A = this chain, B = another copy of it.
Amino acid sequence: MNPGVILQLDKVIHEKGRLAIMSLLAATPELSFTELRDTLQMTDGNIVTHIRTLQEAGFVAVTKQFRDSRPLTTCQLTAAGRTAFAEHIALLEQIVRQNRPQSR
């Protein structure tokens, strides 16, 4: 068991709310703020905070526009976000491999 792999995990992505957001965004070109919030059953405050953290890390881009005269906020992964998410999943895969009962 090598804890080095676990310690390499990026805390910004590892937190489970943000991991869920990154995972949803990785599977699609973009999602609206409302779709993310409702899918993850988060409060407005929670989702705003998580998206801001991901935005500050450069992993998520936020676009505000008007559609049918109503404001629409959409989120998408940046190229850096896509890379960081793929690396995170690869680390999780190593952690699973190292910690599966049958592999010890």
A residues within 8 Å of B by Cβ? Answer: 1, 3, 6-7, 9, 11, 14-16, 19-20, 23-24, 26-27, 39-40, 85-86, 89, 92-93, 95-96, 98-101, 104
Contacts and interface: CB of A to CB of B under 8 A. Distances in A.
Given A7-B40, A24-B3, A95 B95 contact: no
Q: In the complex, which of the residues A3, A15, A104 has the most CB atoms of chain B within 10 Å of its own CB atom?
A: A3
A14 B11 contact: no
Copies of this subunit: 2
A9 B1 CA distance: 21
Contacts of A7: 16, 20, 40
B96 A96 contact: yes
